[in-house]
Amino acid sequence: MLVFFGIGSSGILAEYAARSISSSGKICYFIKDPFYPIFTQEISNTLLIVFSVSGNTEEALQFVLNFKSPNNLLISITNGKDNKLAKLSDYNLSYNMPSVVNEGYYLNLTSQIPVLYIIEAMMKEVAELIKK
């Protein structure tokens, strides 16, 4: 099973990724709610791909910790490799864009264009693999 996860704008990207990959022929799912119940005994052999700009959002980290098991694989896509999520992950893809944060409203405005590129590349690769 393939599951994408993210919160906020990263959740929107998780939804887009799941939709894109499913359109390529591989059924997958997305979760945007960090409090969504996870029953690890029922999701073994699952690949979880987590999107997070900071990699340090506590709710996302708790979700990942609930998901972690020897039978699951965790890939994180973050803006940098020196964060808690990257260290918890089996693999991390970091895109290293300059951080842009509106401190007054605690809005992270860091570009996620690299994430869209990664999603599009995954979608094309899945489509090619399914053709074979």
Provide the 10 A C-beta neighbour count for residue 89.
23
User: Which portions of the chain are predicted below pLDDT 70?
Assistant: 40-41
pTM score: 0.91
Q: Where are the domains of the chain?
A: 2-131
Strand partners, 92: 76
Q: How far apart (Å, rounded) are the C-alpha atoms in residues 5 and 14?
A: 5
What pLDDT digit, counting tens, does each position of 45-79 carry? 899 999 999 999 999 999 999 888 888 999 999 99
pLDDT, position 65: 93
* Third-level CATH fold of 2-131: Rossmann fold (3.40.50)
